[in-house]
């Protein structure tokens, strides 16, 4: 009887694995890495009013975000190579520099069990100068 029980359990295990009932997750893969080529303008005077900053580069996803000093800003996607933001006067109130980056957010996996997707990727920082 023990032999038959063991045999039945072994067959059930093989059928379960063979039918795909086991969890098969795939980790997220690297997303597209954005790259900043130029900022326009690339500097301003301390105490300036709000202004539009244009970020030119490559690999900007439709939901990419421009970050000023690590803080995501409301971003307008113009093309896959151009984004714009409105820089608030408070961000340029005093002299110094601000690191500007672009982040392509992670995408959720759509595979079985929610696996797959892409990781968030952030560009190398470019310096914006406040004179």
Spatial CB neighbours of 92, under 8 Å, sequence gap ≥ 6? 44, 45, 46, 47, 48, 98, 130
The domain tally of the chain equals: 1
Which domain, by its residues, includes 106? Answer: 26-130
- Alpha carbon distance 44, 72 (integer Å): 20
Considering the chain, what is the average pLDDT of its residues? Answer: 87
For residue 45, give the CATH number of its domain: 2.60.40.10
**pLDDT of amino acid 58:** 98
| 117 confidence band (pLDDT: 50, 70, 90) | confident
Q: Give yes or no for residue 23 having a pLDDT over 70.
A: no
Contact 58, 73 (CB under 8 A): no
For 47-96, the pLDDT digits (tens) are 999 999 999 999 999 999 999 999 999 999 999 999 999 999 999 999 99
Q: Which residue has the tokens 């892409």?
A: 118
């Amino acid at each position: 009887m023990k032999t038959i029980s063991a045999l039945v359990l072994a067959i059930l295990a093989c059928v379960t694995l063979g039918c795909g009932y086991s969890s098969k997750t795939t980790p997220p893969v690297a997303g597209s890495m954005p790259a900043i080529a130029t900022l326009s303008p690339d500097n301003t005077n301390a105490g300036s009013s709000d202004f539009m900053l244009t970020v030119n580069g490559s690999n900007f996803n439709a939901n990419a975000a421009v970050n000023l000093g690590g803080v995501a800003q409301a971003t307008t996607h113009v093309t896959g190579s151009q984004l714009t933001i409105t820089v608030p006067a408070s961000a340029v109130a005093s002299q110094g520099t601000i690191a500007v980056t672009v982040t392509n957010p992670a995408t959720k996996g759509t595979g079985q069990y929610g696996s797959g997707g892409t990781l968030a990727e952030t560009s190398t920082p470019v310096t914006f100068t406040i004179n």
